[in-house]
Structure 1
Amino acid sequence: MKQGIKAEDLYRLQFVSDPQISPDGERVAYVAKRINQDKNYESHLYICGLNSGASVQWTNGCHKDFSPRWSPDGKTLAFVSDRSGKNQVWLISSEGGEAVQLTGSTQGAGSPVWSPDGKSLLVTVAVEEEKEEEKALKPLEVTHLKYKADGKGLLNEVYSQLLHINLETKEEVQLTDGAYHHFDAAWSPDGQKIAYCKSRGQGDTISFASDLIVRTMNGKEARINQETGSFTDPVWSADGEHLAFLGQTFEFGSATLGNVYTAEVGSGKVLCLTREFDDHAGDAMVGDMHFGHPSPKPFWSKDGKGIFFIASTEGNASLHYVTMEGEVSQITQQKCHLYGYSMDVESDYAVFAASSPTVPGDLFYASLSNLSEEVRLTDMNEELLSSVSLSQPEEFTFINDEGFTVQNWLLKPPHYTEGCKYPMVLEIHGGPHAMYGNTFFHELQLLAASGYVVLYSNPRGSYGYGQQFVKACMEDYGGGDYRDLMAAVDHVVTHCDFVDPDQLVVTGGSYGGFMTNWIVGHTSRFKAAVTQRSISNWLSFYGVSDIGYYFTKWEIGNHVWEDPEKLWQHSPLRLSSKVETPLLILHGEEDFRCPIEQGEQLFIALKQQGKSVKFVRFPKSDHNLSRNGDPGLRVNRLQYIVSWFDDHLGQAEQGGRLNENIAADRV
């Protein structure tokens, strides 16, 4: 009998991303990421022949190679690698051979973009505004609201600038400057203009606001967007007269749906093509294998009359198409997470990077006119998956008290036996404006393999169900969203006789951690809980989080000085005296999104009252520990979760053992 997946199987999983079709349409370059024998992340470039379906590993070594980009003649791949210490741009022949380092920026370089004639490259380089004369320890003077960022720590005066490199003369010219980040560069078809995105600066209250800029090669700049928002991923039309790009305007704060835009470059006229499309243009899927993959840009159709893009709808990330008149149609129909793609619109085909609950991530090839006959190009996890038993989710929905349809999934243990009863774990996603769905999730499969039925749900506030649904939890954290989650649990224990209603546990991270804290402050129906990278106190979160100063206003409705009582009313810390559920608090020491003081406050309050609580602090770990943290600590984290639930459900049984069928599942 095959075993269920284990925490340590994280070391065996591989993940495929960033497909790039060659100019002749015969090959696709892609990136495969894995954890090596030293338990460090590494990634390498592969090239697959689309006719043969055979892949060849193109780069090697204990380092990270990524962002492959074909030269226009298909003879060279530019890519980014950390093999020399910092990320730099390298070149390698598409016929094989040694890679050659192109950039040597002190702070690193990335994002290579070929000129249409193949004679030069645009890259981004990190540039210090003022170089330090010496490396002596000195104070950090803070004058901006955004002076720190999760995953980066305290920010110094270093900004990403665009650098033009002539490949024949090796001449380098820095095209941009100033205290702004410049990114997502795209060259016009005639090579006379570039489009790129420019941040609004660290002093801006909305830290991820960005503008779309068009610049001529003689230095003349024009801003395309008129509204304030976050605008990214510009792509030129074949005639060079229009730009397609993605963006959102913060109309509903962080709950605003993403949209597809076009701009007429000559006149500056901007149209939002998906204004009537009531779903999110972008990938909102939650998972623990896909973090950090590049966001796929939109693609123009062959006739220039429409644009392909990824959208998140009802638990799936799928390929969509929008006409210049704003008519949207869904192109791919599979229940899956399509997280990357590359198109040859001239030849009418595409290569997709996709995941499903039982496929961590692979490449698929299909004609755009016959997507039902897709061909699988890679099977990177064949060895692992042939030796383990995975669970296939079962979907169900219900209508909540506001008339919204709420989508949910159940994972049964892989060795589920009819007639037996199982404990159930409620998993709550972060965001809250994100989406569970049809993607591979190691943690969920592990819990199922450990003998648990796993319930995961998209309560109000989640992406995938329209603008009204995604903003429905704003200023109501712990209200309707809490009722949706409890209704999902009630539905399962009422309709599924294989779930033991006396053996329920709960966990979640970030917003899911907030909600876990909120749940144990309102009910004792769960026998154990694990809160991860959570929020416990909105009053302190406002000033200590890297996003607290605007996220709190958007989500709870007030700045800290406007109505502190409202922030306190939504703070789980206020409810600590009511907590009866044994609580495990997991937090990263270097989490700047939900800083560790949030976990500290909750632990001290519960411990001081004699509650059952344990606090685990993960060193050198930020908010994304579960997705891209130290591999060993990721495994530790999963082991803590399963052990906490096992121990406390064993106590709840009074006999110290779980049902025999659960033990059998763990063989």
Structure 2
Amino acid sequence: MDPKVFYSIKLISNPVKSEDGTFFQLNWIDFTSNSYSSSIYFKGKDVKRVTWGGKESQPLVKDGVLHYVKGGDKDTLMRSTLGEPEPVFSFDKIKKYLPYGKGFLFLGEERKGNSTPFEASSLKYKFDSRGLLRSRTSLYYFDGKETRTIMGGNYDVNDFDTDGRRVVASATMSNDDVSFQDVFEVDVGSSSFTKLTKGEGAVTAVALTKSGFAYLGHRKGLSPWARKDVIFEDGRVLTCGKYCGNSVVNDLFVKYGDKLVVDGGKVYSLGQDGPTVNVYSVEDGEKVTDVKGVVLDFDVKDGVEYVYSDPRKPSLMGGYDPNESVEGVIPDSFTKGIEGWVMKRDEKAPNVVFVHGGPHTAYGYMYYIEFNYLFQEGFNVIYTNPSGSQGYGEDFARAVVGKWCDIDFSELMSFVSSLGLKGKFHLTGGSYGGYFTNMALTKTDFFSSGIAERSISNLVSMCGTSDIGFWFNAIESGISDPWERESIGKLLEMSPIYHVKKVKTPLMLIHGEEDMRCPIEQAEQFFIALKMNGVDARLVRYPGDSHEHARRGKPLNMVDRLIRKSEWFKYH
């Protein structure tokens, strides 16, 4: 079946409740232009389209009037009244905006050309999906006439909130190299700011409440496995499920992020419990939604409106289903030491085993484009949440640190062998899942073939070529300085390239050429080593694609990728 059919879905995001209903953003792929499109819709008694350009996003209602961002050569904030929508202001890229005073505060990024020489002076000088950091995300204020910078420099402002008087923002100012984030009090008039948080850690969303500010994150330093909580200005640390926010990985081509919403003095957040994600009232400790699936986005205003996915449907909101003809396969759920799922066609059918990235993300009880495509192509699809996965407690997530493809390898192999399936098995995964695929094939000849995407083969070289490798590889390997002789030895021992002579299984390596998280040199090394050792290997390179090539890459590349994966598995 043509993979375009599976990518021809529509996805809901950015719900904004108003007095009469909910504005939201509807997203889809335009294969004619090989690009992504979105427009603003309104759900009241029925659903109607509000904008028609195909490049509109981020709806917001101010004083009963709809605002949204219109894409183009520059982003333009639009005001939509009963007549023709009117432009408010333009900026190269508008990432978030909120009304303030006579105008708007907004997160923006200037577009700068890439034809001139670039000089790096800090460890973090590039970032995946952004390229070389010639410009950063800053906080700006448009006062109704002109725009000025409020908070900006060689760091990123990643979120902000205002109640019309007070302004708080989170930024990587304290230690941009490793993206530590702090909350700052911002004085718009003087363009000055004061750090409010202590310690070091992550801040992925910030909000103002009646009693002060709150943020989603942690103060646990460099610990990618750390559970995130909602932390209040008065020191309270409250959790939502087993993990505040949403670490569930998906391939739904819309980037859903963490957020905090305040309504009636209460703070709301997403909370994850294993493979499910719901909305929580943080201070009450109550689950506001009860979805057997994954809530992806939400808004609260005299009640909650939320966007969610379950195995049957990619995108639902209330009674609205933009994909009425789509019916995903409901997997069988198993707990065999670890939690896992099987989309089963037949016990004699060939099997594809998936490994998620991170390693501290998780598979969710939701709709996956690739899983449903391969099921229709005749495969059983198997996926699990072994040790390292988020949503099962911090100890469970931390269990693979220094032991990648170790305990989780044993757990996965035990899970697969317990299923009683008779067909051949194939292994695949992306990022950490790509690393796991490479490493697993040095440990076993059980699989008939593998496909490693945006993978890792050499943890030493990745320390110098990845946007985060210099700290991430060290922390995840259980070392401090990656350039000490003993540390290099540990990194090599954990690297698939160090054990490549043991690989006999045919392997395809798929990579985006602009991947800065797991640079393509990782796939190149492993490919050359495999070929020199007589292993059936292929290297597929997608120009213009980053680490997100399988989720939000160029649409026609994503279609080509699914065809190649199916053909490779069928051939073997």
Normalised to the residue count of structure 1, the TM-score between the two structures is 0.81
Please name the residue that 2:335 is paired with.
Answer: 397
Amino acid in the other structure paired with 1:175:
I
Shift of 1:235: 1.9
1:528 maps to which of 430, 449, 471: 449
Judge conservation of contact 1:160–1:181 (CA < 8 Å) in 2: yes
Shift of 1:31: 0.5
Shift of 1:314: 1.4
Shift of 1:138: 4.2
Shift of 1:577: 1.2
1:548 paired to 2:469: yes
1:292 paired to 2:255: yes
Q: What secondary structure does 1:526 align onto?
A: coil
1:40 maps to which of 12, 19, 35: 35
1:165 paired to 2:163: no
Please name the residue that 1:74 is paired with.
Answer: 64
Q: How does 1:181-330 map to 2 (within 5 A)?
A: 181-188=156-163, 191-200=164-173, 204-206=176-178, 208-219=179-190, 221-237=193-209, 239=210, 241-251=211-221, 253-263=223-233, 269-274=234-239, 279-300=242-263, 302=264, 304=265, 306-323=266-283, 328-330=285-287
Q: 1: distance between equivalents of 2:15 and 2:276?
A: 20
Gaps of 5+ in 2: none
Listed one character per residue, the Cα deviations across residues 174-212 of structure 1 (whole Å, up to 9, x for unaligned) are 322433322422112xx22211112226x6431x22211
Amino acid in the other structure paired with 2:69:
V
1:564 paired to 2:564: no
Listed one character per residue, the Cα deviations across residues 324-356 of structure 1 (whole Å, up to 9, x for unaligned) are xxx6333322211101111123xxx21110111
Q: What secondary structure does 2:235 align onto?
A: strand
Q: 1: distance between equivalents of 2:554 and 2:449?
A: 26
Amino acid in the other structure paired with 1:214:
E
Please name the residue that 2:392 is paired with.
Answer: 465
1:112 paired to 2:97: yes
Structure possessing the higher radius of gyration over alpha carbons: 1
Gaps of 5+ in 1: 264-268, 365-375, 400-405, 494-498, 649-667
Shift of 1:610: 1.1
Judge conservation of contact 1:532–1:586 (CA < 8 Å) in 2: yes
Q: 1:173 to 1:543 in 2, by over 3 A?
A: closer
Q: 1: distance between equivalents of 2:410 and 2:500?
A: 20
2:323 maps to which of 375, 378, 381: 381
Q: 2: distance between equivalents of 1:232 and 1:270?
A: 17
Shift of 1:127: 5.0
Q: How many residues were matched structurally?
A: 567
Please name the residue that 1:652 is paired with.
Answer: none
Please name the residue that 1:635 is paired with.
Answer: 559
Judge conservation of contact 2:241–2:272 (CA < 8 Å) in 1: no
Listed one character per residue, the Cα deviations across residues 233-285 of structure 1 (whole Å, up to 9, x for unaligned) are 22222x4x31222112244611111110111xxxxx432223xx672101111
Shift of 1:531: 0.8
Listed one character per residue, the Cα deviations across residues 310-334 of structure 1 (whole Å, up to 9, x for unaligned) are 11111001122332xxx63333222
Judge conservation of contact 1:112–1:124 (CA < 8 Å) in 2: yes
Please name the residue that 1:31 is paired with.
Answer: 25
Q: 2: distance between equivalents of 1:204 and 1:233?
A: 17
Please name the residue that 2:56 is paired with.
Answer: 65
Q: 1:173 to 1:204 in 2, by over 3 A?
A: closer
Amino acid in the other structure paired with 1:312:
Q
Shift of 1:564: 0.9
Please name the residue that 1:367 is paired with.
Answer: none
Q: 1: distance between equivalents of 2:229 and 2:22?
A: 28
Q: 1: distance between equivalents of 2:139 and 2:564?
A: 44
Judge conservation of contact 2:39–2:56 (CA < 8 Å) in 1: yes
Amino acid in the other structure paired with 1:568:
L
Q: 1: distance between equivalents of 2:448 and 2:257?
A: 40
Please name the residue that 1:588 is paired with.
Answer: 512
Q: 1:40 to 1:138 in 2, by over 3 A?
A: closer
Task: Give me the CA root mean square deviation.
Answer: 2.1
Listed one character per residue, the Cα deviations across residues 541-590 of structure 1 (whole Å, up to 9, x for unaligned) are 11111110110111112232232111111111122111111111111111
Judge conservation of contact 1:433–1:462 (CA < 8 Å) in 2: yes
Q: How does 1:396-475 map to 2 (within 5 A)?
A: 396-399=334-337, 406-413=338-345, 421-475=348-402
Q: 2: distance between equivalents of 1:603 and 1:623?
A: 18
Sequence identity percentage: 29
Q: 1: distance between equivalents of 2:271 and 2:2?
A: 32
Judge conservation of contact 2:75–2:90 (CA < 8 Å) in 1: no
Q: 1:631 to 1:322 in 2, by over 3 A?
A: same
Listed one character per residue, the Cα deviations across residues 49-88 of structure 1 (whole Å, up to 9, x for unaligned) are 1xx1x11111112x421111110x212x2222213x1333
Q: 2: distance between equivalents of 1:622 and 1:421?
A: 37
Q: 2: distance between equivalents of 1:295 and 1:137?
A: 34
1:7 paired to 2:3: yes
Amino acid in the other structure paired with 1:332:
T
Q: 2: distance between equivalents of 1:159 and 1:192?
A: 26
Q: 2: distance between equivalents of 1:362 and 1:487?
A: 35
Q: 1: distance between equivalents of 2:502 and 2:457?
A: 14
2:80 maps to which of 86, 92, 115: 92
Q: 1:398 to 1:82 in 2, by over 3 A?
A: same
